[in-house]
Amino acid sequence: MITIQLNGERREIPEGLTVTGLLKFLQFPADRVAVERNLEIVPRGQWDATAIEAGDRLEVVHFVGGG
């Protein structure tokens, strides 16, 4: 297990996850979120190749529809 900051809170997650794996682990709907890692937006096309490392600071933002 490694420790990260997720949306301002300390979290323990399995080691070796990518952004895609993190979203699956957290059960977040990948089609409705944006991910920022260490103050940089991670493009959706790079989620599978972007490893989450101990100490990373992540923000996951949910898109909300409405009118």
> Average pLDDT of 22-30?
93
pLDDT at 66 over 70: no
CA distance 19 to 13: 12
Q: What is the pLDDT of residue 10?
A: 98
- Mean pLDDT across 54-67: 86
Going by pLDDT thresholds of 50, 70 and 90, the confidence category of residue 64 is: confident
| Cα 41 from Cα 20, distance rounded (Å) | 14
Mean pLDDT, the chain, rounded, equals 94
Judged against a pLDDT cut of 80, whether residue 27 lies above it is answered with yes
Can you tell me the distance from the alpha carbon of 58 to that of 41, in angstroms, rounded to the nearest whole number?
10
